Structure 1
Amino acid sequence: MKIYDISMEIHENMTVYKNKEEKRPQHTITVQKGDVTESRICMDMHTGAHIDAPLHMINGGDTIENLDLSKVITRCKVFDFTHISDKITREDLKDKNIEKGDFVIFKTRNSFREDFDFQFVYLEKSGAEFLKEKGVVGVGIDALGIERDQPEHETHKILLGAGVVILEGLRLKEVEEGEYFLFAAPLKIKGAEAAPTRAVLIKEE
């Protein structure tokens, strides 16, 4: 069995969405008595690898503590789209082996960038519609956003409105296309629109 850690390391100088300073984690360590060390962290819910709940883009939408964990602890399919330079569309997906109930993860050139790329590869709304029609349970991508500057946030709304889990902020550089077991349970934070996760892929050998 091989385990791939596909999460971003969280620290004060990590890559954050659009390099916004207010999104950078703040980590402080407090040393108390003797050998006892305690620390605290303040960070955006959309830091590193994280899962979006419907409330993120849908008024009155469900929150992260109500997520069905069977959607994020499940078999999944990783598809290699490193040849794409802009966006993933219906045309790019239609010949892939995507079936009802699948959790699909997209590996792109994003995984090979350490800094924030303002032109990151994203899932365009026609691709989101295709996945909704297929009946997938979740979509993961190696970008801090599943869409890029779409004014009405169509990709998010299409997926979240259909109950499709969105997993963002992955690192897939060492992961080859294929089938894996995904474990990406988010923190159970009451009333939150998203939550960080330690996402891993497991490959049976």
Structure 2
Amino acid sequence: MPRLWDISPPVQEGAPVFPGDTPYRQQWAAQIAPGCPVNVSTLTLSPHVGAHADAPLHYDPQGVPVGALDLEPYLGRCRVIHAIGRGPLVTWDDLAHAVQDLPARVLVRTYERAPVDRWDPQLAAYAPQTLERLADLGVRLVGIDTASIDPAESKTLDSHQVIRRRGLRVLENLVLDAVPEGDYELIALPLKLMAADASPVRAVLRSLP
């Protein structure tokens, strides 16, 4: 039987978000009681909470919203590459040991243990030149186990601008702690949110035959 790895962090109250972003909150609109047969909750959250897919609308004022994106990049063969402890920028040298015959999707692990319960202002990000070289090799989706492909303090978002220009898709806030380096099937479909700049995903990896 294929093995599954859940690479999504828990989404709950207290889940870390970018400073100033909307935290996750849950309230009960209805609860099981005499005269009420169901529990119904109301959620308030940023679409960047937990594992998520950024849409071009997030970093391009004329960009496409997440609900209009082609799903193909989010489903298929991918490679997990370890660059644990590297940073503040993941360079090509950090990945060069594992770039032979790359599939169209690349996920990079930078943490020994992802901080799923706290914000990390020192998060590792992609160097823009690294994304350029991945795109040159035919990569269509990049992922990382931090909250952003750019440094937390960046105001120019140079790596986001590379993926805008090169047409790449991105997954952020993955949890790759238990995933050995190698090739897998990625399944990480965004919701069909027709005006949103991002979407939460339930990201999983499945072992290949």
The alignment's TM-score, normalised by the length of structure 2, stands at 0.89
Give the 3-state SS of the residue equivalent to 2:76 in structure 1: strand
**Structure 2 Cα separation of the partners of residues 110 and 87 of structure 1:** 16
Deviates more, 1:136-145 or 1:34-43: 34-43
Q: Indicate conservation of the 8 Å contact 1:101/1:136, yes or no.
A: yes
Give the 3-state SS of the residue equivalent to 1:172 in structure 2: coil
Q: Residue in 2 aligned with 1:57? A: 59
Q: Residue in 1 aligned with 2:74? A: 72
Q: Residue in 1 aligned with 2:115? A: 113
Identify unmatched segments of 5+ residues in structure 2: none
Give the 3-state SS of the residue equivalent to 1:77 in structure 2: strand
**Structure 2 Cα separation of the partners of residues 179 and 158 of structure 1:** 25
Instruction: Summarize the alignment of residues 125-140 of structure 1 with structure 2, pairs less than 5 Å apart.
Output: 125-140=128-143
**Structure 2 Cα separation of the partners of residues 40 and 98 of structure 1:** 47
Instruction: Summarize the alignment of residues 48-197 of structure 1 with structure 2, pairs less than 5 Å apart.
Output: 48-97=50-99, 99=101, 102-109=104-111, 111-114=113-116, 115-148=118-151, 149-197=153-201
Q: Residue in 1 aligned with 2:18? A: 17
| CA deviation vs aligned residue, 1:4-33 (integer Å, no higher than 9, x gap) | 111111111112224x4x521110122154
Give the 3-state SS of the residue equivalent to 2:192 in structure 1: coil
Give the 3-state SS of the residue equivalent to 1:129 in structure 2: helix
Give the 3-state SS of the residue equivalent to 1:112 in structure 2: coil
Q: Residue in 1 aligned with 2:207? A: 203
Q: Indicate conservation of the 8 Å contact 1:160/1:166, yes or no.
A: no
Identify unmatched segments of 5+ residues in structure 1: none
1:187 shift after superposition = 0.8
Give the 3-state SS of the residue equivalent to 2:40 in structure 1: strand
Percentage of matched positions with identical amino acids: 30
Deviates more, 1:26-35 or 1:103-112: 26-35
1:35 shift after superposition = 3.5
Give the 3-state SS of the residue equivalent to 1:39 in structure 2: strand
**Structure 1 Cα separation of the partners of residues 142 and 112 of structure 2:** 16
Give the 3-state SS of the residue equivalent to 2:98 in structure 1: coil
Instruction: Summarize the alignment of residues 31-46 of structure 1 with structure 2, pairs less than 5 Å apart.
Output: 31=31, 33-46=35-48
The alignment's TM-score, normalised by the length of structure 1, stands at 0.91
| CA deviation vs aligned residue, 1:111-162 (integer Å, no higher than 9, x gap) | 4334221111111111122222222110010011111123311100111222
1:97 shift after superposition = 1.8
| CA deviation vs aligned residue, 1:76-112 (integer Å, no higher than 9, x gap) | 0000111414220133334432556510000111643
What is the CA RMSD across the aligned residues, in angstroms? 1.8
**Structure 1 Cα separation of the partners of residues 97 and 16 of structure 2:** 33
Q: Residue in 2 aligned with 1:6? A: 7
**Structure 2 Cα separation of the partners of residues 189 and 112 of structure 1:** 27
**Structure 2 Cα separation of the partners of residues 105 and 98 of structure 1:** 15
